[in-house]
């Protein structure tokens, strides 16, 4: 059964992520890192179970790339298929 108040985790829109790294340094638990996905440097959440849902990473992103969502959601938003 789903909890009444599911903990939220960051959902990273990698199609818009610039790879600047601000969110990585904002996480006190070091759960985010920069990786190359689909040929682009992007932020990746490594341990959704440990994430406290504190929103620091979302607040720190200067480009509004991170939204908070339920942990069952897709962890990243993929870029459109290459043309």
Which of 26, 33, 73, 77 touches ligand SF4 (CB under 6 A)?
26
19 binds ligand SF4 (CB under 6 A): yes
Which of 15, 20, 73, 75 touches ligand SF4 (CB under 6 A)?
20
Q: Residue written as tokens 């870029």?
A: 79
35-50 CB burial, b ≥16 within 10 A, e <16 = eebeeeebbbbeeeee
Using alpha carbons only, give the angle 39, 56, 75 rounded to the nearest 5 degrees.
40
Q: Which residues are at the interface with ligand SF4 (CB under 6 A)?
A: 10, 12, 17-23, 26-27, 29, 31-32, 43, 45, 51-57, 61, 63, 65-66
């Amino acid at each position: 059964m789903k909890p009444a108040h599911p903990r939220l985790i960051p959902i990273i829109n990698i199609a818009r992520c610039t790879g600047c790294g601000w969110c990585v340094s904002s996480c006190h638990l070091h759960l985010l890192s920069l990786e190359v996905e689909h040929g682009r440097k992007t932020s990746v959440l490594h341990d959704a179970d440990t994430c406290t849902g504190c929103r620091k990473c979302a607040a720190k992103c200067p480009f509004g790339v991170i939204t908070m969502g339920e942990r069952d959601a897709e962890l990243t938003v993929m870029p459109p298929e290459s043309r």
